[in-house]
Amino acid sequence: MNNCQSNLNLKRILSLLFLCLQLPLFSQCSNNEPAAVVVVESTKPVIDNEVLTLKLDLTRGGAISYLSLSGKDRSIVNIFDEGRYIQQSYYAGKSVNRQDEGQSASWSPWSWNPIQVGDAFRNRAEILDFQKSENEIYVKCIPMQWDMNNKPAEAEMEQWTTLDGNVLKVKNRLTCHRTDTIYGEGILNDQELPAVYPISALSKLYSYMGDAPFTGADITQLEVVNLASGFWGIYNNVPENWMAFVDDSGWGMAVYNPQCIRFLAGMSGTPGAEADEAPTSYIAPVKKATLNKNSVYEYEYYIVVGTLTDIRKKIYELHLDKN
């Protein structure tokens, strides 16, 4: 098990131990969709395009904190703690014991792990810039080092979030300017691209797992691995580059990253919980990357909301656009 997978493993197990003690069908959008309406709020900017309502939290690095059907007040994003949301999280270097500098004993040793929302002590990222247009929100923040107590990372995160029908298109960028000498250079780590936490009421996991991707062949309902087993489910060949959590009716959200065929997915706690409760579902497209002290790393991904039929149809459209 490589350094990042070990860190991810420990991170999720400890989250379980310390924090989890314990709809109508969506129709395909037409080309004549109404224009998105931007609603200005002080800390949680909103875009509503009459299909979906999207909110970002400017008190938590501008991470995606709310996603619902337009006109409904039920978000399908879990926000129980700073490790949840839909957010950027990266890993660089080797794991280091920094407890004499305030590192949490629960997360030691640990690699350099900037996270968009905030750290394990619930200190939050600082917003540097925020802009919005009709259907896009841009944020820039100084992320926090997950394992450290109020230790901003020597980096900036940027996020461009565009709402288009039943799809969120997100571009993320990490710009590093580290001066440390303790983590080492040239170390390959798994990256969560991104970390996505649907509510655990979306408890059914689906994807296409066959050998004929993008042909309309049958999708598969997968066993949901619970974090109590020791780690999330590991899926090393997801050929259509997406996984989805849905409810009993087949409605929910998918994460599509065209760069990734490897995914982590599973559940912490029990099914049936909502946005502010401890149990959660989890999906992360995963790809190996080396992040050095002056690296700039960026990628795009999509969140698609709807029935499984709607989701797959839209992903096929996005795939064709990319190819």
Q: What is the pLDDT of residue 8?
A: 59
Q: What is the pLDDT of residue 24?
A: 29
What total of structural domains would you count in the chain?
Answer: 1
CB of 52 within 8 A of CB of 252? no
- What percent of the chain is helix, strand and coil (3-state, nearest 5)? 15, 40, 45
**At 45, which CATH number?**
2.70.98
Output the pLDDT for position 292: 97
pLDDT for res 4: 52
pLDDT at res. 9: 54
Q: Yes or no: say if 3 and 95 are a contact pair by the CB < 8 Å rule.
A: yes
Averaged pLDDT in 10-residue chunks for the chain of 323 residues: 53 43 32 43 86 97 98 97 97 98 96 98 96 95 98 98 98 98 97 98 98 98 97 98 98 98 98 98 98 98 98 98 82
- Specify whether the CB–CB gap between 157 and 143 falls below 8 A: yes
Residue 320: strand, helix, or coil: helix
pLDDT at 31: 41
The range of the structural domain enclosing residue 116 comes to: 3-322
pLDDT in tens, 162-206: 999 999 999 999 999 999 999 999 999 999 999 999 999 999 999
pLDDT tens-digit readout, 107-122: 999 999 999 999 999 9
Q: How far apart are CA 78 and CA 270, in angstroms?
A: 13
Q: How far apart are CA 147 and CA 19, in angstroms?
A: 16
Residues 190 and 91: beta-carbon distance below 8 Å:
yes
Share of the chain above pLDDT 90, in %: 85
At residue 5, the pLDDT reads 57
CB-count exposure of residue 42 (10 Å: 0-12, 13-18, 19+):
exposed
List the one residue out of 175, 182, 196, 180 whose CA is nearest residue 291: 175
| Other residues' Cβ atoms within 10 Å of the Cβ of residue 24 | 9
